Chain A
Amino acid sequence: MPGLLTESGNSSSVVSYSPAAETPAVYTLHHCLKPPITPRLSISWSRGNTLRVTILRSPETANSVEEEPGGKVVDLKLSGEDVDSEINDAVRWRRIAYGSLSPFAHLQNKKNAMAALSELRHSTPYDGDWSKYILEYSKEINSLLGSNKSSPASLIEDPKTVLKNVEEPSSLKAAWELLEIFYADKQSHSWILERLVDWLSDYNTLFSGQVPSVHLRLVEFQAELINTQVVENEIKYWQAISSALAVGWLDIAVKLLRLHGSYQLNQLGTRETENGLVEAVAVLVSKMPRMRADLPSGKLGECYFNKSDFVRAWEKWRAQITKLDCSAFWLQCSHHETKENLKNLLQILLGNTSALSSATCHWVELYIAHFLYIRPLTSGLESMYVLAQKCIQLKPTSSPHKLMRLILGILEENTEVVLAECSRSFGPWMIAHATELLTAGSIEAEILLKEERDKLGGISIEESHRLVYAQVLSSHALTWQIAPIYLISCMKHGLGLLEILLYKQPAYHSQVLLKNIEICRMYDLDSVSSNAMKIAGVHHWKHGRKGAGVFWLQQARDEVRLNRIAQKLFDFVGKSISDESFEQWEGLIELLGSESKTAGGLEFLHKYRDFKKSLQQVQDGIFNDAARKAGEALILLMKNPSTPQRFWLPLLYDSLKLLNWQERPLLNVSQTNLLLNKLQELSVARLRPDFVEVGLPPQALSSVRVALATNLGRAILEE
């Protein structure tokens, strides 16, 4: 990828290369180039991600007996790591590349169709339908990046399993989903906060690697849970509950609460009040009002679609919490830890800032907690951004996670930051596909992305990212075939690069050639495919497959080369009729057909073949009819401008028998005159220095002249 620096390892390398893997083999190259040769370095792509470096220099033969090789070749296998190490796995990456192809192509088609329609109607191209298409596109891509399906739950639920076993999600999917939430899914904007809550619960595990997180805290707690006898005495138990509650994982919080010792049957009698308080908190947690359309099964809370309904329920719910907080039952609760920590949970529910802050680990979690318990009605990116800044101040991180940087970029409404973050952290695939989401509905973003820039050589940012992605695809033997879809969507340089890509494919490999032609057919690149066919034609010709050579050159309608080939063929066939070698050419000549306009000078060969055949019959003793036919063929050949001059005399010399036909003259006056004129032309041409003498007996010309003169005389008499 030109010009894109990755962050992995040392920031100066464009593509990560790990020399540790194995020492690459160095091949020596012997050449016979004559010195002086200036040392030459050539770098090219070999198979897959292998870079081939060739060094050529003059062999040092001066004094040493052993000849030093004049060049060295080394294949360096680049580690194939994409910018994001998660799509390191080449197979997984290919699946994404191929899978995203059809949604992308589909969207481009729709876009083109809509643009054409809006031109007709003189209206803006983006209306309601468009956001629907964008969402469809986004969802299709999203589903490609992996599913959040948990492993099938066992029939008997283990009460001590707090966290479900979920397949490790990819940060690529997390990033895509963020973009979808903010840019593509316009319909659910009114409950965007709840979507972020869901997002964090799906992807919080991704943060665990870099910063402490609630997820990590729960994982650790679960590991200890099996060996814990009295959970309510453990500080970690209460920490786990408050953390889960703070980030809105209500189901986990309630489940943990019900592990409380007071629920055990043998203790119920003595700890009745305590148990009542625990259960009251659990019920309050599970009744939390949430402003969203629905909840997935297993999740807790009560949904309110309407804002005023929600506010009413929210006030009522908080009143209940306050009431419980001030209840007299707390005095009767003898278990100190339970009392204090339940009170703390109530503070979280009431939105106590310090309680929330101590329950959460990093700023995104705190941010989500703010949405849940303090400002559930926050709306607009600006106020969301202000809140995010506040949370960062409360919980600063030294090196923010890439997803955190992306969230901030989005909230800041800074498209450039979002773009930079996408390309820096998630690679060319992400940015090539995400630009569609960024531009959806945002005029500023669209101007930014689609404006043509002199700095980028006159192309837009969008196009440059697509070109980079197409370049990545082109560099691998298994993905080059899908690069055309992306290239064709680039207005300025796409077509040019597509042509270069197609030219780079080995046209002499017949499968590749046919694929090439097919791609050209799809994109109306006739000139490219005919050039590929020409290359293939010349290749076959050079390798002795003359038929295949002529075939491809004819398919390419390459008159110039066909004529050159015809000249070469004449060398083979320009012998006397008795020559046996002519027979083997018959198959090819037969194939060329008689009316082949595209066959160039080869058209002559077909007529020549017909002439030779009838002449052969004459010599074999089949008379009159064959002789007449041969005569006609001779005239046709001599009349035809494609008959090469050097064949004139051999043709006439071969036909001496026809000219001296005993029974009657076979050629009439005008025909004989034509032949005499040709003969005259030939005599003049002989004076030119570039004339090539044919290998005929020296008296050939005079004997033909005599024969023609005799024939003319007899023809005149007959007429």
Chain B
Amino acid sequence: MATETLKQFTRLPQSTYIDALRFLPPLSALDRYVVVASFNSDSDETSIGIHALTSTDTPTLTLQSSFTPSSRTSSLKVAQKSLNPIIAASTVAGFLHILFPNPIDASFESKVPVPEKRLYLGSITGLDLQENGSACVSVGEDGRVNLISVGDSGLDYRQIFDSKGLVSYTAAQWASPFEFATGGLGNLLQWWDQRRPGGPVTQFKGNWANVASSGIVHSIDIHPSRKHTCVAGGSYGSVFAWDVRRPHQSIVLSGIDNSETTTCLSESDVWEVQYDTFMSASDHAKLSTTGVLPVMICSEDGILAVLKQGEEPTELLAENCAINCFDIDQQNPSFRMGVYCFIDEGVAYNDRYGVIGLFSMANGS
């Protein structure tokens, strides 16, 4: 059976913390750009920069342009709006920035935080852009859910919900032009539909009495071909899938679980989950069946792995420091490059404390 192996792996040490990073949709056929949100703890400087990625034998990142957000970046997403890239970034101070890089030289055109006043009391903890860049949903620890529509004439925002601090949100992800999912404390997943305002349509919650099954959801992903299934990752190494049509149950892919069939890859926080777009032929065959699609995760204890339902996980990397974020280049599914970063500083890699790792995958057998 085909398994994934790491074909090439390069570490690019950075002089700052890396809070988040994403591949930018291509500006032209030849260029590859990466958006990196960084933080310099010595000088307290924050920055969102666009770097050109040249991937010859030794990949390098060259800063093209940068933007200074109001505070540290808490969440970063990118999309493509009428062939132009669009970047959404949220900060721990509760501001939201929608940025439009110039398609020619990757410089920033708009730098205004939108809207100009604070939308949140406290940190914005999660956001997501619609695939076509037309709307951005954001959630905060103060329990507010906001929607920003990105039109041709400008930006417009409205509040969808305010739990007044009774529920804190930690992640958000679009499922369709109308539906999105949010994650929160207590392994809470909620499903929202803009056509049915007033609150979440349905929800899944962990058992709060059992501490191990009621952690925090740090990241959610929804596959375009399975719009009713959320996959979520969070505390205690838990990764689980939730089908909106069966709201009271979840499929545990990894984590502390009573059943002996589930593998426990890690016991620390899973920081990011994304459906693995790099799929072998056997994975494609599964697309038609009911199982959960392969999911890539990264964790606090330095594991980058691919989880498949009912199979042993494939560990791609086991580092001795946290991997806080990764991204998959959606433009290059067969020969994929990923970027990951260590927010943990130092870590013996040269003299820097943030590291971006670049790797490409090969289909070994």
Contacts and interface: CB of A to CB of B under 8 A. Distances in A.
A307 interface: no
Contacts of A595: 207, 209
Nearest to B209: A596
Interface stretch (B1-9, B150-158, B163-171): B163-171
Contacts of B320: 102
19 contacts: A90-B42, A91-B352, A94-B345, A95-B350, A98-B345, A518-B269, A544-B142, A544-B165, A545-B141, A547-B166, A547-B185, A554-B208, A585-B166, A588-B163, A591-B185, A591-B208, A593-B205, A596-B209, A598-B209
A420 interface: no
A599 B346 contact: no
A94 B41 CA distance: 14
Contacts of A477: 41
Contact of B268 (A481, A521, A599): A521
A565 B169 CA distance: 21
Contacts of B184: 547
Interface string A532-564: 000000001001111110010011010000000
Contacts of B186: 551, 591
A521 B301 CA distance: 12
A548 B207 contact: no
Given A514-B269, A544-B121, A554-B211, A588 B347 contact: no
B106 interface: no
B267 interface: yes
Nearest to A90: B42
A31 interface: no
Nearest to A585: B166
B353 interface: yes
Nearest to A545: B165
Contact of A514 (B123, B300, B301): B300
A587 interface: yes
B285 interface: no
Task: For the complex of A and B, list the 9 residue pairs with the smallest distance between their C-beta atoms, beginning with the closest.
Answer: A98-B346, A588-B166, A551-B185, A548-B168, A99-B348, A544-B165, A545-B165, A547-B167, A596-B209
A479 interface: yes
A597 interface: yes
B166 A584 contact: yes
Contact of B346 (A478, A544, A547): A478
B50 interface: no
Interface in A73-127: 90-92, 94-95, 97-99, 101-102
Contacts of A518: 268-269, 300-301
Nearest to B13: A95
Nearest to A544: B165
Interface of B is mostly: loop
Most buried by A among B123, B143, B209, B235: B209
A709 B223 CA distance: 62
Contact of B353 (A478, A510, A547, A584): A478
B165 to A, nearest CB: 4
Given A547-B143, A551-B168, A585-B166, A97 B346 contact: yes
Nearest to A514: B269
Interface in A577-601: 584-585, 587-588, 590-593, 595-599
B346 A587 contact: no
Contacts of A593: 205, 207-209
A547 B168 contact: yes
A587 B166 contact: yes
Interface of A: 48, 90-92, 94-95, 97-99, 101-102, 144, 477-479, 481-482, 510, 514-515, 518, 521, 540, 543-548, 551, 554-555, 557, 584-585, 587-588, 590-593, 595-599
Nearest to A509: B92
B35 interface: no
B344 interface: yes
B269 A555 contact: no
B351 interface: yes
B208 A598 contact: yes
A587 B163 contact: yes
B188 interface: yes
A95 B167 contact: no
Most buried by A among B15, B121, B141, B186: B186
B346 A482 contact: yes
Given A95-B348, A482-B346, A591 B211 contact: no
Interface of A is mostly: helix
B122 interface: yes
Nearest to B200: A587
Given A544-B164, A545-B122, A557 B268 contact: no
A588 B347 CA distance: 41
A588 B167 contact: yes
A115 to B, nearest CB: 24
B42 A481 contact: no
Interface of B: 15, 41-42, 121-123, 141-143, 163-168, 184-186, 188, 199, 203, 205, 207-209, 211, 214, 216, 235, 267-269, 300-301, 320, 344-348, 350-353
A543 B352 CA distance: 36
A584 B346 contact: no
Most buried by B among A477, A548, A588, A593: A548
A119 B203 CA distance: 56
A95 B351 contact: yes
Contacts of B165: 543-548
Nearest to A481: B344
B351 A599 contact: no
A94 B122 contact: no
A92 B164 CA distance: 47
A660 B318 CA distance: 68
A294 B341 CA distance: 44
B351 A92 contact: yes
Contact of A591 (B41, B205, B348): B205
A518 B122 CA distance: 24
Given A477-B41, A547-B165, 8 more contacts: A48-B42, A94-B353, A95-B346, A102-B348, A545-B122, A546-B166, A551-B186, A595-B209
B208 A599 contact: yes
Contacts of B209: 593, 595-599
A547 B163 contact: yes
A86 to B, nearest CB: 14
Contacts of A544: 121, 142, 164-165
A478 B208 CA distance: 34
Nearest to A583: B199
B328 to A, nearest CB: 24
Contact of A557 (B15, B121, B167, B211): B211
Contacts of A90: 42
Nearest to A555: B211
B327 to A, nearest CB: 20
A91 B163 CA distance: 44
Nearest to A599: B208
Contacts of A94: 345-346, 351, 353
A553 to B, nearest CB: 11
A477 B344 CA distance: 11
B28 to A, nearest CB: 36
B345 A478 contact: yes
A478 B41 contact: yes
A588 B186 CA distance: 11
A280 to B, nearest CB: 50
Contacts of A98: 345-348
Nearest to A93: B351
Contacts of A102: 320, 348
Contacts of A584: 163-164, 166
A593 B42 CA distance: 44
A585 B15 CA distance: 46
A561 B251 CA distance: 34
Contacts of B167: 547, 587-588, 591
Nearest to A602: B208
A482 B345 CA distance: 10
